[in-house]
Amino acid sequence: MSEVPDEYDPEEAEPRWRDHWQETDVYSYDDDPERPDYVIDTPPPYPTGNLHIGHGLQWTYIDFSARYHRLQGYDVLFPQGWDCHGLPTEVKVEENHDIHRTEVPRDEFREMCVEHT
How many domains are there within the chain?
2
Question: Quick one: which of 66, 81, 80 has its CA closest to 21?
Answer: 66
Q: 38 with 77, same domain? A: yes
Residues 47 and 71 in one domain: yes
CB atoms within 10 A of CB 103: 11
Question: Are 93 and 72 found together in one domain?
Answer: no
> In this structure, are 39 and 56 located in the same domain?
yes
Q: What is the average pLDDT across 23-51? A: 82
Between 31 and 45, the more confident residue is: 31
Print the domain residue range for 56: 34-82
Shared-domain flag, residues 77 and 107 = no
Residue 24 lies in a domain: no
Q: At what angle do helices 106-116 and 86-97 cross, to 10 degrees?
A: 100
- Cβ(43)–Cβ(85) below 8 Å: no
Q: What is the pTM of this model?
A: 0.52
Q: Are residues 74 and 95 in the same domain?
A: no
Query: Which sign, positive or negative, has the C-alpha torsion 68, 70, 76, 82?
Result: positive
Closest to 26 in 3D by CA, of 74, 58, 80:
74
Q: pLDDT tens digits for 84-112? A: 667 888 999 999 999 999 999 999 999 99
